[in-house]
Amino acid sequence: MLAAPFEAVADPALFTSSTLFGQPGLYPDATPMTPAAGPPCDEAVARSAIAPLGADAVADWGDAPLVVRAPEPLPRAAAAALGHTVAAPLLASFLAGTSTARTLGVGPTSSPGRVVGPPEGRPVSSGPGERVVNDRYAAEHPLSVAPSVAHDLGWSGPGATHAEETVLHLVVALVHAQLVAQHPRLAHLGTELARRQNSLVLPLLCSHQPGDPTLAVVAPDGAGTAPGGAASMQTPDFWSIPFAPPGPPTPLPAAVAATLAAACGDPAALGETPRYDDDLARRLSAIGFAGALPLVDHLRVAVALGLVGAADLAAASGLAVDEVGDAFGVVDALACWEDR
């Protein structure tokens, strides 16, 4: 089932709709997007938000080194969550002071469309510096913010090439997918940021060669990255999405390389001297991301995003509709749809 092309999504309102900061939505006819309402995330909300990840996540959130680098509750909780995903090496680099992001806060970003980035009014350079979560998303769930924090912990700065930005957006998609696999309701929060993150996972799940369920960022025969969505937003695979202009290969930072190796489940997957280039994309595509999304989690995310439903599972397996949730380990993912 996961090897076949997806023809549609169950609810386009889980994904981007109207043009946002100059970027068209995947499903223009879906409901308008709005950021989470209410007061900014405080200490109690942040602690509660990461508690489902386990006692270790809560302990990490209160750890002194992280408090120093991310004193505000929202970015600190988002960063702590990364320690429980394939992006753990990026968090470790941040705490060690070897990341280009030296601190995380909340405030206006230099570019209003960024979820996390350099603060407004500060010189934007490629050197180490301060990063902030866009205050547009100050009331969002920390686990919705976490994937974008991972991007900026690995980002080299302005001028990043297509290869770098595509790899870092891949990390965003993998982190969000991992968190949704653990907690499917994250995909159904309905906020602008949740929909933006879902809209990076969707093209990844659709990026594979027909007949092969292996997620491949390079899949030239792919059926399209936004099933039933805007034709202008379709690409055959994840690598074809125009995240940034092309540029010369650059070295892959150690923390990004460790994150990708964990996602592949193979320490040797990237070769001896990996760079941001097409060869890296081909290597990732040959192996897939079973280290981040083993098949059962791949299915759980596909169910949560509405690419696969109970009726599909029943038809493919010969089981009754009311049996497939337990049989495939997707009871809670299906419940997201039953409660709507």
* Domain residue extents for the chain: 1-33+186-340, 40-158
Residue type, 288: G
Q: Return phi, psi of residue 134, to 5°.
A: -50, 125
Q: Which residues of the chain form beta strands (DSSP E)?
A: 101-107, 116-117, 129-134, 250-251, 275-276
What's the pTM? Answer: 0.97
In angstroms, the CA 133 to CA 276 distance is 25
Give yes or no for a contact between 24 and 113, defined as CB atoms under 8 angstroms apart. Answer: no
- 246's CB contacts (< 8 A; 6+ apart) are 161, 162, 163
pLDDT values of the chain reduced to their tens digit, one per residue, 340 residues: 999 999 999 999 999 998 999 899 999 999 999 999 999 999 999 999 999 999 999 999 999 999 999 999 999 999 999 999 999 999 999 999 999 999 999 999 999 999 999 999 875 555 678 999 999 999 999 999 999 999 999 999 888 999 999 999 999 999 999 999 999 999 999 999 999 999 999 999 999 999 999 999 999 999 999 999 999 999 999 999 999 999 999 999 999 999 999 999 998 889 889 999 999 999 999 999 999 999 999 999 999 999 999 999 999 999 999 999 999 999 999 999 987 7
Measured distance CA(189)–CA(146) in Å, rounded: 15
* Residues 306 and 10 sit within 8 Å (Cβ to Cβ): yes
Residue 109 β-bridge partners: 119
